[in-house]
């Protein structure tokens, strides 16, 4: 049984799935405390893929899967650099 909860997490967007030609088709958020969240396919996935290797803060629903992995369904996100520049 998988569980889910709403949360805000920050980290770096990295590729984590490729097609047979080497094109990136999936990404994950690697947090600063070494947790990994696969980003679920939704309307924000393609936009987040534009920020590979950059720091972001994602708000969304976390799912913990039976095998122990975690994923996040992103509702909103902010580039960390942009957030710092606003202050």
Q: What pLDDT score does 1 carry?
A: 41
Q: What pLDDT score does 66 carry?
A: 92
DSSP string, the chain: --EEEEEEEEEEEEEEEE-TTS-EEEEEEEETTS-EEEEPSSTTHHHHGGGTTSEEEEEEEEEE-TTS-EEEEEEEEEEHHHHHHH-
Q: What pLDDT score does 3 carry?
A: 60
Domain range 3-86, CATH architecture: Beta Barrel (2.40)
How does the average pLDDT of the chain come out, rounded?
A: 91
Domain boundaries, the chain: 3-86
Q: What pLDDT score does 83 carry?
A: 55
Residues of the chain with pLDDT under 70: 1-3, 82-87
Condensed to tens digits (0 to 9), the pLDDT of residues 6-25 reads 999 999 999 999 999 999 99
């Amino acid at each position: 049984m998988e569980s889910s909860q709403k949360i805000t997490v920050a980290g770096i967007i990295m590729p984590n799935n490729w097609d047979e030609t080497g094109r990136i088709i999936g990404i994950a958020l690697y947090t600063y405390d070494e947790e990994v969240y696969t980003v679920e396919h939704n309307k924000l996935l393609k936009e987040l893929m534009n920020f590979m290797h950059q720091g972001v803060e994602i708000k969304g629903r976390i799912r913990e899967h039976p095998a122990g992995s975690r994923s996040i369904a992103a509702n909103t996100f902010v580039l960390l650099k942009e957030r710092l520049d606003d202050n």
